[in-house]
Structure 1
Amino acid sequence: MRIVNTVLELRDAVRAWRLAGQSVALVPTMGNLHAGHLTLVNEAKKKADRVVVSIFVNPTQFGVGEDFETYPRTEREDQEKLDASGADLLFQPAVSEVYAPDAKTVVSVAGLSEQYCGASRSGHFDGVATVVCKLFNMVQPDVALFGLKDFQQLTVIRTMVRDLNIPVEIIGVETVREESGLAMSSRNGYLTAEEKTVAAKLYQSLCVARDAVLAGQQSYEEIEHRALLFLQESGFQPDYFSVCRMSDLKKAGTDDMELVLLTAARLGKTRLIDNICFSR
């Protein structure tokens, strides 16, 4: 696996692959890789001849008081995992390589970015959309793979790609879970052993709500209320729990058939998100 730190080196490598008639997949990450990330790499290898993985802890998607400085950075371990997984190239740029010191352009997906996680993390999705757009411009991949765990993020990126006519196919990959059902996340490392046991109840709340919808319970507000109460009683500080249309994340009506349940909650110092997609 080749490791590059500059856009020039990255483009040189991709150009050589293109001249050889090879397709390119991109897996954007912030590092501290776990089995979920490696699943993205494995899926990328099925979709393209060459796989680029980026590791970049993006400062513009962290708000004031969030964990940018303390976000886990495990470069050596990540490189070993990616090499073993068969990635072709690791792009690991410095902040100065990605953002000019006087950068003025921000990509914002209106309507999707201000709700749910965006309501409590002002500017977060503008930072996500901007850096992903930049990575697409740098790599110019044929396909890019993202985990379904960050479903709102995935929807923002899909909408950006559609609206800006970016020629890349976006592929969502199923969430990888621990045996308890807890969705794998780099921030799970912040949890104590006791908190990790409790954290699995976040997924449990989603499963119970899904089953209630499928059983024909008509009041989505009541389903959401019961889920929030369950999370509070379990020791979480819930941010939201919403029954949404899968296509645009608007509140679901009883006529909607393709649904996603979205939730976020804080447990101790750790903010967790999860979701379940299903059809009625």
Structure 2
Amino acid sequence: MVNGTPFIKMHGIGNDFVVLDLLRNPLPAHFDFSLFAEKVCDRHLGIGGDGLLSLERAHDESDVRMRMWNPDGTEDMCGNGLRCIAHLAHVRGDVGTDFTVQTLSGPRGIRTLPSGKIRVSMGTPDWTPERVPHLGPQPLIESSIELDGHVFEHVTSLSTGSTHTVIFGETPVSEADFQKWSPRLEVASLFPERTSIMWAYPLETNRVGVRIWERGAGETLACGTGACAVAVAARRTGRASGMVSVRSKGGELDIEWDEKSGEIWKIGPAQIAFEGVWQDEN
């Protein structure tokens, strides 16, 4: 019998996670996942990660279930985490090539491609204020918002399973502005559940760069739902067409959006880095 909590360390283009395989290593019903996320995601005192994931039995007609917690213990949806869970379930033989994962935002269709990359259904985007959510009277699409006397232009807020605010610029955001404004915008009163900030800028035709500040996590190398938000916002505001490649510090994701059905598809890799056992002495 293992003394401790077995885990797998995974990442999707640098967005890294501590993963619990509850299909093979179930935990007690009273287990506090939020507290565990706070401990293990700490990069100095824990394992280190942008979030905690669990691979579980589905509670609906999906093949498996994913749950995700941010480093501050809040539960959320995560696109790169979904890709990691899909890869883990596939390589461990829990699912075939085409399968469905239950998530906080509903069931998501998955396909493992011959290249090893994973194509993930990310649902449909939502701009309505109550679903993003934000307190504005109408959707924020290519809008202006004011915070502490500073006006931000070219702002689009939407939900792609998690809330994102995309700010387009002609060049990458400066280090000073990123560090000063990202945490303030995250907790601005306009966003009652906080928001992740995507600082986007053009690279070339249908290719967009982004620097990422995730709610509950701070700066991350990548964000799957964020990449979807950037691509869809670029399409919606006329900055791109067709499939959009979104480049972050961790790597690149390809995003498809069917405007007729509303469905978003995300294509990218996922990797297992190592496995271990967490010994909690507290």
TM-score scaled to structure 2, two decimals?
A: 0.30
